[in-house]
Amino acid sequence: MVTILYFARLKESLGKAREEFALPESVIDLGGLRDVLAGRGGAWAQELSGARPVRAAVNQEMAAADTPIRDGDEVAFFPPVTGG
């Protein structure tokens, strides 16, 4: 299982701030996880298929598509940051 967190615009459009997700064996990295989630269709496809800007972190470090994902990880998806 991995914990997936959603923030800001994604949290609203996906209607979810957090979920526990059983990692399919085929998913070994962040890009693979994003593809599986986008495959849920609807808002998931809109937010995570690459049409809208999205960033991600693995275990609270900024991550890229090839960042490995393992059981127990905390993954987060969110829009580009706008603080300050």
Partner 1 sequence: MGLTDPAGNSMSVRIQTEDFDTGAEIAAMRRGNPAIGGIASFVGVVRDVNEGDAVSQMTLEHYPGMTERSIEEIVTQARGRWNVIDALVVHRVGTLRPTDQIVLVIVASAHRGDAFAACEFIMDYLKTRAPFWKKEQTAGGSRWVDARASDDLAAERWNSGR
> Could you tell me the sign of the dihedral formed by the alpha carbons of 53, 57, 60, 66, in that order?
negative
Q: Which residues neighbour 58 within 8 Å (Cβ) at sequence distance 6 or greater? A: 30, 67, 68, 69, 73, 74, 75
Q: Contact between 79 and partner 1 (CB under 8 A)?
A: yes
Q: Contact between 16 and partner 1 (CB under 8 A)?
A: no
Q: Cβ closer to partner 1: 15 or 80?
A: 80
Contact region for partner 1 (CB under 8 A) — 4-12, 21-29, 38-46, 64-72? 4-12
Q: Cβ closer to partner 1: 24 or 62?
A: 62
Q: State the CB neighbour count (10 A cutoff) for residue 80.
A: 8
* Residue 31 DSSP SS3: helix
Q: Contact between 65 and partner 1 (CB under 8 A)?
A: no
Candidate list 1, 51, 65, 81; residue touching partner 1; CB under 8 A: 81
